[in-house]
Amino acid sequence: MNLIMFGPPGGGKGTYSSRISERYGIPHVATGDIFRREVSEGSDLGKKIKGYLDRGELVPDEVVNEVVERRLSEEDCRDGFILDGYPRTLPQAEALDEMAKIDLVIVLEVSEEVIINRLSNRRICRRCGEIYNLRSMPPKREGVCDKCGGELYQREDDRPEVIRNRLEEYRERTQPLIEFYRRRNIVREIVVREEKPVDEVMRMIYSALESSLPAEV
Ligand SMILES: [Zn+2]
């Protein structure tokens, strides 16, 4: 079962993809994670990627495609995978068609209110990088990291006005891709209008998956 997950920043797609990965025993292939690992290992590819990121440029399609193709040809992807963060452009989607047949595309529709609530309450430790949420996972002492005592701060990206721009950018970038797959009738939308426990969203996702896929899955 070859899946793609699309979702807005702060929409929870990383969490949901991991859950799908555990349940169906298929790897969660997140291009962001692969890039971070290559960069931290200092591989040739990592150096190349770091160059683009340091210059504030997007990693070009050819490079991303190569990374994904290599990952999908690994043994553990034989029975399927869930892609997170790829494809991001139409040329990438076309390249992906050459690599694998996509069975289903999950599109998370999360209301702007839910996302702004989640992201604007996020705080990060300056010292160790631990992530808190003032509502759902607050630190024991205001503004101080439980783990290392470091100072907590809010990323510039997580301020409501910036979040709105990020969402707008996401919609513009993703819409053509969703249309691309919608023509094949393999898009399933999961609508999250208000804050919901992960398990509840997962039930919606599983039922969308299981009603759309052949019985052998
Ligand atoms: Zn800390």
CA of 72 to the centre of ligand 1 (A): 35
CA of 152 to the centre of ligand 1 (A): 8
Q: What span, in angstroms and rounded, lies between the C-alpha atoms of 105 and 187?
A: 5
- What is the crossing angle of helices 61-72 and 44-54, to 10°? 140
| pTM recorded for the entire structure | 0.85
At 217 the pLDDT is 43
Catalytic residues: 13, 88, 122, 155, 166
At 157 the pLDDT is 84
Residue ranges with CB less than 5 Å from ion ligand 1: 125, 127-128, 130, 145, 147-148, 150
Cβ-contact 104, 1 below 8 angstroms: yes
CA of 126 to the centre of ligand 1 (A): 7
Strand-by-strand arrangement of the 2-6 sheet: 28-30, 81-84, 2-6, 104-110, 187-192
At 5 the pLDDT is 97
At 214 the pLDDT is 63
At 215 the pLDDT is 55
Q: What is the pLDDT along the chain (217 residues), one digit of tens a residue?
A: 999 999 999 898 988 999 999 999 999 999 989 998 999 999 998 999 999 988 988 899 999 999 999 999 999 999 999 999 999 999 999 999 999 999 999 999 999 999 998 899 999 999 998 989 998 889 999 999 999 999 999 988 888 889 999 999 999 999 999 999 999 999 999 999 988 888 999 999 999 999 886 655 4
Structure tokens at 174: 């993703």
At 118 the pLDDT is 87
CA of 56 to the centre of ligand 1 (A): 27
CA of 153 to the centre of ligand 1 (A): 11
Strand-by-strand arrangement of the 122-125 sheet: 131-133, 122-125, 152-153
Cβ-contact 108, 6 below 8 angstroms: yes
At 205 the pLDDT is 96
CA of 15 to the centre of ligand 1 (A): 22
